[in-house]
Amino acid sequence: MKKILLFTGDFAEDYETMVPFQMLQMLGFEVHAVCPDKKAGEQVKTAIHDFEGDQTYLEKSGHNFTLNYSFDDAIPGNYAGLFIVGGRAPEYIRLNPKVLEITRHFFDYNKPVAAVCHGMQVLTAAGVVSGRKLTGYPAVSPEITLAGGEYQNIAMDAAFVDGNLVTSPAWPGHADLIREFFKILGGKIEI
């Protein structure tokens, strides 16, 4: 069974943590959800981002999500792919040198990587977007551009693929994001 590493943290977006975690398991992957400085069995608090007519999203309390693997035990060579959730967690997990080192491993070895929403903040901090085409939540588009990436302005319910990297602006794009991530992981969907 192929293993996927999933980066999350406190105040990660609720849907962007729980839904990919469950969808990837449903597809037959063993998913290790980790957070720097936390161990298996500990929890992260999630946040629900909703749009209610304001200029930006509103943040509400989400669920507590139980990590199923310890961050310190995650060895990047053991994983077929990396999934980076969005929300506020990326803004601080990207400050952890091991998060950046692990992220670079997936690009150095051309392994599949999926990121959603603000997850691109980890990618930009790791220095892996230069010359790449990717999307993300519009508020992170300046970071993508400053890091040398080419921001793709696509619908919120879509995903964009550039080689081993698949990205989506937000959780409405999960269907496309997970389908394309599954394809670059070598999966085939037949109906």
Evaluate whether 147 touches 124 at the Cβ level (below 8 Å). Answer: yes
Which two structure tokens, joined as six digits, stand for 87? 């929300």
Active site residue 118: yes
CA–CA distance, 132 with 17 (Å, rounded to integer): 24
Helices 14-26, 174-184: crossing angle, 10 deg rounding? 40
- Number of helical (H) and strand (E) elements in the chain, helices listed first: 6, 11
In the sheet that holds 43-50, the strands lie side by side as 12-13, 43-50, 58-66
What is the chain's Cα-based Rg? 15
Q: Say which of 32, 35, 49, 118 is annotated catalytic.
A: 118
Q: Say which of 32, 35, 49, 117 is annotated catalytic.
A: 117
Evaluate whether 162 touches 131 at the Cβ level (below 8 Å). Answer: no
Active site residue 35: no
Q: Residues with catalytic annotation?
A: 117-118
